[in-house]
Structure 1
Amino acid sequence: MPSLLHIDSSADLSHSRSRALTAAFADAWRARGPEYTVVRRDLHVDQLPHLETSALHWAAADRTPEESVAPEAEALRQQVIDELLSADVVVVGAPLYNYTVPSTLKAWIDRVHIPGVLTGGVQPLAGKPVVTIVSRGGTYDAGTPTEDWDHGSPVLHIVLGTALGMKLYPVTVSATLADRLPDLAPLAGHAAAEFADARTTIERLATTLG
Structure 2
Amino acid sequence: MPTLLHIDSSADLAHSRSRELTAAFADAWRARGPEYTVVRRDLHVDQLPHLETSALHWAAADRTADEVVAPEDDQRRQEVIDELLAADVVVIGAPLYNYTVPSTLKAWIDRVHVPGVLTGGVQPLAGKPVVTVVSRGGTYDAGTPTEGWDHGSPVLQIVLGAAFGMKHYPVTVSATLADRLPDLAPLAEHARAEVADARVTLERLATTLG
Under a length normalisation based on structure 1, what TM-score does the superposition of the two structures give? 1.00
Q: Which amino acid aligns with 1:86?
A: A
Under a length normalisation based on structure 2, what TM-score does the superposition of the two structures give? 1.00
Shift of 1:205: 0.2
Shift of 1:74: 0.4
Shift of 1:114: 0.4
Q: Which amino acid aligns with 1:16?
A: S
- After the TM superposition, list the runs of 4 or more consecutive aligned residues in structure 1 that deviate by more than 3 angstroms: none
- Matched ranges for 1:13-162 at <5 A: 13-162=13-162
Shift of 1:34: 0.3
Q: Which runs of 5+ in 2 are unaligned?
A: none
Q: Which amino acid aligns with 2:13?
A: L
Aligned partner of 1:171 in structure 2 is: 171
Question: What is the rounded CA distance, in whole Å, between the counterparts of 1:184 and 1:144 in structure 2?
Answer: 13
Q: Which SS does the other structure have where 2:94 is aligned?
A: strand
Can you list the C-alpha shifts for 1:74-94, whole angstroms capped at 9, x where unaligned?
Answer: 000000000000000000000
Q: Which SS does the other structure have where 1:208 is aligned?
A: coil
Q: What is the percent sequence identity of the aligned residues?
A: 88
Q: Which SS does the other structure have where 1:7 is aligned?
A: strand
Shift of 1:179: 0.2
Question: What is the rounded CA distance, in whole Å, between the counterparts of 1:2 and 1:91 in structure 2?
Answer: 14
Q: Which SS does the other structure have where 1:19 is aligned?
A: helix
Q: Which amino acid aligns with 2:82?
A: D
Q: Which runs of 5+ in 1 are unaligned?
A: none
Question: What is the rounded CA distance, in whole Å, between the counterparts of 1:164 and 1:193 in structure 2?
Answer: 32
Question: What is the rounded CA distance, in whole Å, between the counterparts of 2:104 and 2:114 in structure 1?
Answer: 18
Shift of 1:176: 0.1
Shift of 1:199: 0.2
Can you list the C-alpha shifts for 1:107-145, whole angstroms capped at 9, x where unaligned?
Answer: 000001000000000000000000000000000000111
Shift of 1:158: 0.2
Q: CA RMSD in A?
A: 0.3
Question: What is the rounded CA distance, in whole Å, between the counterparts of 2:121 and 2:10 in structure 1?
Answer: 32
